[in-house]
Amino acid sequence: MPIIFHPSTNTFHLYNNTLSYIIKILPNRQIGNLYFGHKIHDQENFDHLFELANRGVRVCVDEIHNNFSLEHIKQEFPSPYKGDMRLGSIDLAQSNGSHIVEFYYDHHEIFFGKRPLEGLPSTYIESDQEATSLWITLKDPLLHITAILQYTLYEKRAVLTRSVKLCNEGKDTVVIEALSSLNLDLPDADYDMMTLTGAWARERSIKIHPLHEGIQSIYSLRGHSSANFNPFFALKRKETTENQGEAIGVSFVYSGNFLAQVDVDSFNTARINLQIHPATFSWPLHPNQTFQAPEAILVYSNQGINFMSQTFHDLFRQRLVRGPYRDKSRPILINNWEGTYMDFDENILLEMAKEAKNLGVELFVLDDGWFEGRNTDTTSLGDWWADRVKLPHGLSALAKKINDLGLEFGLWIEPEMISKRSHLYQNHPDWILCVPDRNASVGRNQYVLDFSNPDVVDYIARQLENILDHTAVRYIKWDMNRSMSEVYSSSHLPQEQGMIYHKYILGVYRLYERLIQKYPHILFESCASGGGRFDPGMLYYAPQTWTSDNTDAIERLKIQYGTSLVYPLSCMGSHVSAAPNHQLLRNTPLNTRANVAYFGTFGYELDPRVLLPSEKEEIRRQIDFMKKNRSLLQFGTFYRLLSPFENKEAAWMVVSNDRLEAIVGYYRPLQEVNERFRRLPLQGLDPNLLYAIEGKSYKAYGDELMHVGLITTDLSCQEQTDEGDYVSKLFILHAK
Ligand code: DGJ
């Protein structure tokens, strides 16, 4: 069993072939951390790793243990304000005004498998042999509150998941003001922190900075995980590169407000902490109630950042995403948004669909603007029935006509939102999140429905079921176009208002679960003004996410490159759009737009009626190419090769699982004069296989391509035939 308990030393060793995680019941019966990192041999006794720094100035646990200061001890579930001067894992407000808690080891359980987290998304297993779990039960003897620390180690993945569940077995209500899903104390802070930050249309830029003394954090207070800070960070050693060195990846399976921080103390230790953001969270836990915190994921890599990413990719693709599309190549779709915006009718849609079918598209997605009165974004959210002016025969007739053309039908919805100009608002003005007697802030002319109220969720579910029961919908794009504000629910008591942000996201999860259980054949794509909710929580319900509203190929290089730090290509919505691009007005070649979009789910976001014959010809070839290669692109192993954040060019590649095939994407945004020679060292090939490279007259062994590099230059070598800016090239390798 990869989780071992040594009773003589009260030590737990969780290990697989890649990593070791060693924790221990401390002399005061709290849980301490001895080690996390590269796999090491097991031993009965690791007590020498317990560093009880006997420093001059300290607060100790009691008079007997007056050299035992929690301030200097690496812990798993630190209680705050009790001598450990850092932020703790838990803050419980008690009826006597105290926030002091003491959680001591009571018992533990080690079992094969992994239990799901009630009401929350989480990674899963398909057979008990895949993972082993350790649940350590701690008790506060005064409050009679139990904290169960939940660990799961996957046997064949460099992945450890962590969470915590609280149970109130006492007689008093306590209020959870903060609860960490993960606390990990590292013995040194000699790391760079990598984060994915950004904003609308420039999501998930890679930022790297050295850890420094004090707290560094990323967070969301927007009600969704946000484009601004993705719920992920990595700590990497200074010398770590994409392909070698140590890195720790931390990700949160949650879609609401979060706080992820690293606290570096004066002794160069680093405390990693991940939790629902405590600023907007306050949860009364009544006697006999339980509270389950969301899941945190820890990935350990000693083979660089690429291996960390690949570990996340495999985990998310295989054991987070669910449903029939999990293992299926994704349909090539056309979405009418940038083609028509809200200005369409049935005839226009059918003409577009006909053209799209001729190009080889498989799925037609009707975006925003199809429901009653929705001609601008000022109206109609909440009224989920077809606009009879635009669609006189209704949605199901439209879907049928599209099906008759040989295409599947997909539909856009924004179920969490409401316009004041809607029947729903007239009937239920109290269903929006807002504070009584105060102004409600507005975003994109819309308001947020109170998804903490089960009646609201049920009403929206029934409206959607009414469509889905009668319309052949195969795909849904679930959008969410504003951040939340004045989060106050009129269906809850004043003392329950601190629960609303979290209850809201639980309401979203419940609606997703209801729909995917009832309509398992539907492929969901989540979206929040593009990539404002690209997080693992969403992927549990929606196998893909619209990566960004920015469809410019050159900007997408950065967005997709950054996103790939954590998320697999099969989850990344990527479309070819028209030129000039609608966000940047930039003209890029059609082949470059496709060469970027291939590394994702792939589709089109344009009006096929206005394409030139030559463009149609090219698109037909693109779609044929994608159909032939999508399973390699979406399910192969992805490597980042050249970062657009650090270089004038960008490159990445995907290698098939048998390493017989690979596709390299190489991009050069701006042409230079009298260019230099360029060789691009590849990754992941079989060194002993001889690869043919489509379009080149020579073959090369994998070792040459990885160590010498692939020649990607250049006008001077006549390798790069496309001149000008925004040039790109795919290199297709076969070893068959
Ligand atoms: C924002 C999305 O990201 C777009 O793709 C589009 O669906 C619009 N919303 C529609 O309102």
pLDDT band at residue 722 using 50, 70 and 90 as cut-offs: low
Distance in Å, CA 530 to ligand 1 centroid:
7
How many CB atoms neighbour CB 278 within 10 A? 17
- Substitution site in 479, 483, 547, 548 for ligand 1 pocket (most atoms within 8 Å of beta carbon): 479
Let me know: does 598 contact 633? Beta carbons within 8 Å: yes
Average pLDDT over every residue of 542-561: 98
263 lines ligand 1 (CB under 6 A): no
- Beta-carbon contacts of 186 under 8 Å, excluding residues fewer than 6 positions away, are 36, 74, 235, 248, 269, 270, 271, 272
Atom of ligand 1 nearest to the CA of 377: 11
295's tokens: 């899941």
How many CB atoms neighbour CB 617 within 10 A? 12
- The pLDDT, as a whole number, for residue 220 is 98
691's tokens: 């690869």
- Substitution site in 371, 549, 572, 574 for ligand 1 pocket (most atoms within 8 Å of beta carbon): 549
Q: Percent helix, strand, coil in the chain (nearest 5)?
A: 25, 30, 45
Query: Which DSSP category does 602 fall into?
Result: -
CA within 13 Å, CB half, 117? 31
Query: Which DSSP category does 303 fall into?
Result: B
- Substitution site in 481, 533, 550 for ligand 1 pocket (most atoms within 8 Å of beta carbon): 481
Let me know: does 601 contact 321? Beta carbons within 8 Å: no
Nearest residue (by CA) to ligand 1, atom 9, is 529
- Beta-carbon contacts of 427 under 8 Å, excluding residues fewer than 6 positions away, are none
- Of all residues in the chain, the percent with pLDDT exceeding 70 is 98
Flag whether pLDDT at 717 surpasses 60. no
d(CA 577, CA 585): 11
Average pLDDT over every residue of 79-97: 94
pLDDT band at residue 364 using 50, 70 and 90 as cut-offs: very high
Beta strands in 302-344 (DSSP E): 333-335
Let me know: does 252 contact 232? Beta carbons within 8 Å: yes
Give 183's strand partners. Answer: 273
DSSP three-state, residue 305? helix
Distance in Å, CA 528 to ligand 1 centroid:
8
Give 21's strand partners. Answer: 14, 36
- The pLDDT, as a whole number, for residue 714 is 53
Sheet (strand 3-6) strand order: 3-6, 11-15, 19-25, 31-38
Distance in Å, CA 338 to ligand 1 centroid:
9
Residues 592-613 have pLDDT tens digits of: 999 999 999 999 999 999 999 9
Distance in Å, CA 222 to ligand 1 centroid:
18
Average pLDDT over every residue of 518-535: 98
CA dihedral 270, 276, 278, 282 (to 10 degrees): -150
529 lines ligand 1 (CB under 6 A): yes
The one catalytic residue in 387, 549, 552, 607 is 549
Flag whether pLDDT at 570 surpasses 60. yes
Average pLDDT over every residue of 347-365: 98
d(CA 673, CA 466): 61
Atom of ligand 1 nearest to the CA of 549: 3
Residues 37-52 have pLDDT tens digits of: 999 999 999 999 998 8
Residues 4-13 have pLDDT tens digits of: 999 999 999 9
d(CA 250, CA 232): 6
Distance in Å, CA 674 to ligand 1 centroid:
42
Atom of ligand 1 nearest to the CA of 367: 7
Give 260's strand partners. Answer: 218, 274
Let me know: does 409 contact 361? Beta carbons within 8 Å: no
Let me know: does 382 contact 419? Beta carbons within 8 Å: yes
Q: What is the CA radius of gyration of the chain?
A: 27
Flag whether pLDDT at 361 surpasses 60. yes
Pairing of strands 333-335, 603-605: parallel
The dihedrals phi and psi of 308, each to the nearest 5 degrees, come to -60, -45
Let me know: does 269 contact 189? Beta carbons within 8 Å: yes
Flag whether pLDDT at 56 surpasses 80. no
- Of all residues in the chain, the percent with pLDDT exceeding 90 is 92
DSSP state letters, 444-492: TTBEEB-TTSHHHHHHHHHHHHHHHTTS---EEEE---S---S---TTS
- The pLDDT, as a whole number, for residue 721 is 52
Nearest residue (by CA) to ligand 1, atom 11, is 368
479 lines ligand 1 (CB under 6 A): yes
Beta strands in 213-265 (DSSP E): 214-220, 229-236, 247-253, 258-264
Sheet (strand 699-701) strand order: 637-642, 650-655, 661-668, 727-734, 690-693, 699-701
203 lines ligand 1 (CB under 6 A): no
Pick the closest to residue 567 from 311, 280, 366 (CA basis): 311
346's tokens: 């049935």
- The pLDDT, as a whole number, for residue 716 is 43
Give 524's strand partners. Answer: 476
Let me know: does 342 contact 613? Beta carbons within 8 Å: no
The one catalytic residue in 479, 535, 552, 607 is 479
- The pLDDT, as a whole number, for residue 51 is 87
408's tokens: 């599947």
Let me know: does 652 contact 599? Beta carbons within 8 Å: yes
DSSP three-state, residue 159? strand
- The pLDDT, as a whole number, for residue 260 is 98
d(CA 540, CA 322): 6
H or E, element range at 664: strand 661-668
Examine the residue annotation and report whether 479 is marked as an active-site residue of this protein. yes
425 lines ligand 1 (CB under 6 A): no
Atom of ligand 1 nearest to the CA of 528: 3
Distance in Å, CA 546 to ligand 1 centroid:
9
Atom of ligand 1 nearest to the CA of 530: 3
d(CA 413, CA 410): 10
Residues 396-432 have pLDDT tens digits of: 999 999 999 999 999 999 999 999 999 999 999 999 9
Nearest residue (by CA) to ligand 1, atom 1, is 529
62-76, 306-320, 360-374, 617-631: which has the minimum mean pLDDT?
Answer: 62-76
Give 33's strand partners. Answer: 23
527 lines ligand 1 (CB under 6 A): yes
If you search the block for the tokens 């439209």, which residue do you land on? 398
Nearest residue (by CA) to ligand 1, atom 2, is 529
d(CA 501, CA 281): 7
Burial of 66 (0-12, 13-18, 19+ CB in 10 A): exposed
546 lines ligand 1 (CB under 6 A): yes
Mean pLDDT of the chain: 96
Distance in Å, CA 68 to ligand 1 centroid:
56
Pick the closest to residue 606 from 340, 354, 407 (CA basis): 340
How many CB atoms neighbour CB 205 within 10 A? 16
* Length of the chain, in residues: 736
First-to-final CA distance of the chain: 40
CA within 13 Å, CB half, 622? 28
Q: Which of the pair, 215 or 60, is modelled with greater confidence?
A: 215
Let me know: does 132 contact 112? Beta carbons within 8 Å: yes
Atom of ligand 1 nearest to the CA of 477: 7
User: Which sign, positive or negative, has the C-alpha torsion 708, 710, 712, 716?
Assistant: positive
3-7, 62-66, 548-552, 644-648: which has the minimum mean pLDDT?
Answer: 62-66
366 lines ligand 1 (CB under 6 A): no
d(CA 700, CA 497): 64
Distance in Å, CA 414 to ligand 1 centroid:
9
- The pLDDT, as a whole number, for residue 154 is 98
Residues 16-34 have pLDDT tens digits of: 999 999 999 998 999 999 9
Sheet (strand 475-478) strand order: 572-573, 544-546, 523-526, 475-478, 408-413, 363-366, 333-335, 603-605, 575-577
Atom of ligand 1 nearest to the CA of 527: 3
DSSP three-state, residue 557? helix
Pick the closest to residue 629 from 733, 548, 728 (CA basis): 733
Distance in Å, CA 341 to ligand 1 centroid:
9
pTM for the model stands at 0.98
Distance in Å, CA 126 to ligand 1 centroid:
35
